[in-house]
Amino acid sequence: MAEEGSLHVWPLRGQFRQYKHGSKLYTVQLDESGVTVTGDGEKQMVKVTDLVGCQCQQEQQQRGNSAYFTLLAYPLTGGRKRTRLALCFEVASGNTFSENLEVANAWRRAVYHAVRNHGRRVTWGVGLGRETRRENIERGGRQGVKEGWNESGKRRQERGRGRQID
Query: What is the pLDDT at residue 77?
Result: 84
pTM of the model as a whole? 0.65
CB atoms within 10 A of CB 83: 10
Would you say residue 32 has pLDDT above 50?
Answer: yes
Helix H or strand E encompassing 69: strand 67-73
> pLDDT digit string (tens) for 111-125?
999 888 877 654 444
Whether residue 165 lies inside any domain: the answer is no
Query: What is the pLDDT at residue 143?
Result: 42
Four-CA torsion 110, 116, 117, 119, nearest 10 degrees: 100
Are 61 and 138 in a shared domain? Answer: no
Mean confidence (pLDDT) of the chain: 75
Query: What is the pLDDT at residue 121?
Result: 52
Query: What is the pLDDT at residue 137?
Result: 53
Are 127 and 111 in a shared domain? Answer: no
Number of structural domains in the chain: 2
Are 104 and 39 in a shared domain? Answer: yes
Q: Could you give the CA distance from residue 75 to residue 129 in angstroms, rounded to a whole number?
A: 12
CA 143 to chain centre: 26
Are 109 and 129 in a shared domain? Answer: no
Are 146 and 67 in a shared domain? Answer: no
Query: Which CATH number is 71's domain given?
Result: 2.30.29.30
Are 130 and 105 in a shared domain? Answer: no
> pLDDT digit string (tens) for 33-67?
999 999 988 899 999 999 999 999 987 676 788 99
| Residue 29 exposed, middle or buried by CB count within 10 Å (0-12, 13-18, 19+) | middle
